Structure 1
């Protein structure tokens, strides 16, 4: 057992999809786990694992320092994903300022490992083949504010590693799917809606994917084997929605949705966006930014994570099957409770 294994491990954002799976895997290894939560956070995803819960906020530096006392590793999984907010000020505050506060606290408290849950949205675009970590970010002119905030956060982390000695590692995680999604996350729940025949129309787009359990495993492997100041692509298979949704409907024996093209979807989003702006509406989900992000990412090369971390993701079919089984079981449980 290493020194970081024997000391308390802090998980911030432990009530979220990625964070809660990190917590489960740490507990399964017999680790002492502390979870930093806001008092308003749901704890449903943490029911079962034996963990110490402390209350605080990444925007409150004092609560971060208190939570990190006696810890060896910090898994930082806090993210504000609300790309649809009209006022993006809070997105930068939560995603950038919160991380900076945590990194300052980590340096002050002598944290030995700082594993940061980043996103594939910080990667460059490669029209000629798979994307690697070495391709610089090259689409700032088209990146919406949410992506800019996540990019700024990751850049801050890498700068802290380089200039201040933060023992940090960044994980560029693809769209996560799988079981135990208590929030639930929109894209994972959309898969369930397709599987049960509740989504008649689908977009003809594609995405890199990763099983949530494999993403959590990558975080634990990065703690042990990740090189300080490096980032790792945590992505498995790239899949078009036609094939992805076909897996889901085949399992449930339902009819696949009808698909509309990206161009048609973008045009529709542009029209709706203009109408909502004329009506002075705010915080709407339908936007050209959302459409652009739905199909901008292509195949991601996970070779670095496989080589350096020893990471081996499971087949996508297993992820789809387990996600559907979990949502189905949860729905049946909710129906039983209603009676």
Structure 2
């Protein structure tokens, strides 16, 4: 069986490629810059050059494939024009779906995001929750792409949507290397008590969930939250990284200032704080009161996260140390 993975040079895409390769799949990874996939190529994973912005390359790279995991996306990187970001997340998903239909692909798994739930503040959010547009580029693009995936499913393509949460672990960017580098630079601040909830997803747990979604007949036509199914506070999550760096505390900004600084009229507060505060969408998540339920994935797929937060952080710290992000004298 041959599978195409987009976003193979990314955190999640790379881990998926390695796991599927180890499980006996012939893995083909789409990479805009193949040199960034040298470690995967060294494991006999086929790397083809192409871009989500190039419709022709998306069709050609699907030749002789049986399945697709669409993990490639614009995830909020600053400096990318809005039309390019929208094309990457939405139009390219449509192009992939059409190419998959023409290539008679047997399974198509789309990696979306819990950001699709928008500003829902319910204590527990499952897959039946509405996903209204919120006027923010990233979540709205994920909602639009999900609509395309469901439409392709209604036309006969065997599709599944997976919504990850805060996925962290070895090689992770936004939820691993990012916080470490921000803490080193003194730019990561706690917002008040920072008791908003992080829905963690250790990378090994997440990959297990995606593989179940790929292989289970019960997953066809369905949407799943895939994370650890438990929460911790942002304060606890970030302080775990601070402890790895030998820090007992982090700078704190009053919550009301953070909320104000995230608005357009709050520009003066940004200067007062002396740091670039989180934007409106980030602030929303920092005060998130919700847990994303994995009951559906457990019931239909048999998904059971096996790596706890403590163990996941232990493994993550070991990798950070080996990779040189933690100095020899720094210790948790």
TM-score, normalising length from structure 1?
0.83
1:263-278 → structure 2 map (5 Å cutoff): 263-270=256-263, 274=267
Match of 2:272 in 1: none
Q: Deviations over 1:49-102 (max 9, x none)?
A: 221111122232332222111111111101101264584211111000010000
Label 1:124 to 1:32 Cα distance change in 2 as closer, same or farther (>3 A). same
Match of 2:91 in 1: 97
Partner Cα distance (2:158, 2:188) in 1 = 47
1:14-53 → structure 2 map (5 Å cutoff): 14-39=8-33, 42-43=36-37, 46=40, 48-53=42-47
Deviation at 1:196, TM superposition (A): 6.8
Match of 2:69 among 75, 91, 99: 75
Partner Cα distance (1:199, 1:83) in 2 = 17
Deviation at 1:199, TM superposition (A): 5.7
Does 2:137 align with 1:145? yes
Using the TM superposition, name which of 187-196 and 295-304 deviates more: 187-196
Deviation at 1:271, TM superposition (A): 6.2
Partner Cα distance (2:170, 2:25) in 1 = 22
Match of 2:152 in 1: 160
**Alignment gaps of 5+ in structure 1:** 1-6, 277-283
Match of 1:209 in 2: 200
Deviation at 1:128, TM superposition (A): 4.3
Partner Cα distance (2:167, 2:208) in 1 = 13
Does 2:170 align with 1:179? yes
Q: Deviations over 1:113-154 (max 9, x none)?
A: 00111100112655442100001124x3x4412211111011
Q: Is residue 15–residue 45 contact of structure 1 (8 Å, CA) maintained in 2?
A: no
| Structure 2 counterpart SS, 1:153 | helix
Partner Cα distance (2:326, 2:249) in 1 = 26
Using the TM superposition, name which of 230-239 and 200-209 deviates more: 200-209
Match of 1:246 among 234, 239, 248: 239
Match of 1:4 in 2: none
- What RMSD in Å do the two structures reach over aligned CA positions? 3.0
| Structure 1 counterpart SS, 2:232 | strand
TM-score, normalising length from structure 2?
0.85
Deviation at 1:246, TM superposition (A): 3.5
Deviation at 1:272, TM superposition (A): 8.2
Match of 1:322 in 2: 315
Count of matched residue pairs: 317
Does 2:293 align with 1:301? yes
Label 1:101 to 1:212 Cα distance change in 2 as closer, same or farther (>3 A). same
Q: Deviations over 1:196-228 (max 9, x none)?
A: 795673232432110122222211111111422
Partner Cα distance (1:48, 1:297) in 2 = 43
Label 1:267 to 1:23 Cα distance change in 2 as closer, same or farther (>3 A). same
Match of 1:288 in 2: 280
| Structure 1 counterpart SS, 2:59 | helix
Q: Is residue 195–residue 251 contact of structure 1 (8 Å, CA) maintained in 2?
A: no
**Alignment gaps of 5+ in structure 2:** 270-275
